[in-house]
Amino acid sequence: MNKREVPYKIFLTENEMPKAWYNVCADIKCDPLLNPATHEPAKQEELEAVFSSECARQELNRRDDYIEIPAAVRDFYKMYRPSPLVRAYCLEKYLDTPAKIYYKFEGNNTSGSHKLNSAIAQAYYAKEQGLKGLTTETGAGQWGTALAMACGYFGLDLTVYMVRCSYEQKPQRKTLMTTYGANVIASPSETTEAGRRILAASPDYRSGSLGTAISEAVEAAVTSGGERRYSLGSVLNQVVLHQSVIGIESKRAMEKYDEYPDIIIGCAGGGSNLGGLMSEFMRDRLKGKAKPYFIAVEPMSCPSLTKGVFAYDFCDTGKVTPLAKMYTLGSGFVPAPTHAGGLRYHGMSPVISRLYHDGYIDEARAVSQTDVFDAAVRFARVEGILPAPESSHAIKVAIDEALKCKETGKRKTILFGLTGTGYFDLYAYERFLQGSMTDALPTNEALERSESDVPVV
């Protein structure tokens, strides 16, 4: 083998792993969170009631472009990172494309996704602050599992409000979190005021939603007498910061072989994955050093970027959180019960939203559920890995772009994020293979009705 030939998997050494996260908020116009009562920018002390102090500081940090990764977090990263940057030779051959396809695979850890990158950081800062524990919500369960692993590692307690329909459909996910010591409660629950109110209002809400679970988890934290804080796995600036490790590693791995992506593709639900994958590539673009083409992929069933409005809105259904400036479908929007649970969120990270609005993220593309699973199965058969439904949104578009290259004969370099594995999504695969999966799209009426709920700021 020629020394310059790219291997199937590029691993950085421990010494090459990032020692700092990239904070894109230092390089862009970053909209503040607003206090929902006063519509004034949220202050650090307000955020500290909800998040750990360091996380609150990071949330508001517009100054430092790089923030050091604490040694204890770097040590934990070494247990499952660097994640491989894979050259998809088999997929290229299968598609018969001149394109070079790379993917950063974040699924090789027990949480099954990239979520662990931020979970361990948030748990570390809570531990450092002397807190007793954290609270959070989870939908499909990847974030809850990641935070359970992180809290288990640092000896923090954790209460997870799990959307009830997932709680009932995915008992394995609950067991996994319990194995790591978490206390898992089906949401809406009787343990919080928010939960009781929602249950009393309508038994229809019994199956729960992410927005409701967030309301419960935040309430549990702020009423804990200061012993606990709340932790969120996406949307926030701090999460995009922690996830930047994905893109920094990807860039270093590609540089080893003189490669640079022409197209960067990430699925986008709350934005944690795309925000992490783009990181230093976006920095290059902001600094005028390079101009990779960024594509955010979202489900047609929850099209916040492609059909939402760019406005201040609540992050939760119960309207207890600060307002964030983002592309939103309205905090009351209820997406169809599709299988990419991690993408069923009414809003989008303010960072991603701003970059998309200002044209730095070039394109948002909404894809249908059946097309996504078709791509997932084809990918699994040639590349071996069973992808998560969320990740498969990126696969679908990567395949489409590679096939365009086949038409045009252009040898583009494509990088996409393979955020996780689909071991807990086999019911969805079963439905797809049986031909009983549908594409439940929201009507224009439903979208309009929901957006009318967005507050005027």
For its own copies, the binding residues (CB under 8 A) are 1, 7-9, 11, 13-15, 75, 78-80, 86, 89-90, 108-110, 112, 149, 152-153, 171-172, 175-176, 178-181, 377, 380-386, 421, 423-424, 426-427, 429-430, 433
CB of 307 to its own copies, least distance (A): 31
CB of 396 to its own copies, least distance (A): 16
Closer residue to its own copies in complex, CB, 50/151: 151
8 A C-beta contact, residue 279 and residue 22: yes
Q: Which residue has the tokens 């957006």?
A: 451
Closer residue to its own copies in complex, CB, 334/380: 380
CB of 382 to its own copies, least distance (A): 7
CB of 275 to its own copies, least distance (A): 24
Closest to 22 measured CA to CA, from 264, 263, 286: 286
CB of 151 to its own copies, least distance (A): 10
* Rounded distance between C-alpha atoms, residue 247 and residue 262, angstroms: 14
CB of 124 to its own copies, least distance (A): 14
Closer residue to its own copies in complex, CB, 107/442: 107
CB of 266 to its own copies, least distance (A): 22
11: Cβ contacts below 8 Å, ≥ 6 apart: 82, 84, 85, 253
Closer residue to its own copies in complex, CB, 9/29: 9
CB of 397 to its own copies, least distance (A): 21
147: Cβ contacts below 8 Å, ≥ 6 apart: 115, 119, 122, 123, 134, 136, 138, 158, 160, 182, 231, 233
Closer residue to its own copies in complex, CB, 13/444: 13
Closer residue to its own copies in complex, CB, 149/355: 149
Closer residue to its own copies in complex, CB, 248/388: 388
Closer residue to its own copies in complex, CB, 186/282: 186
CB of 220 to its own copies, least distance (A): 23
Phi, psi (rounded to 5 degrees) for 125: -65, -35
Closer residue to its own copies in complex, CB, 31/383: 383
Amino acid at 166: S
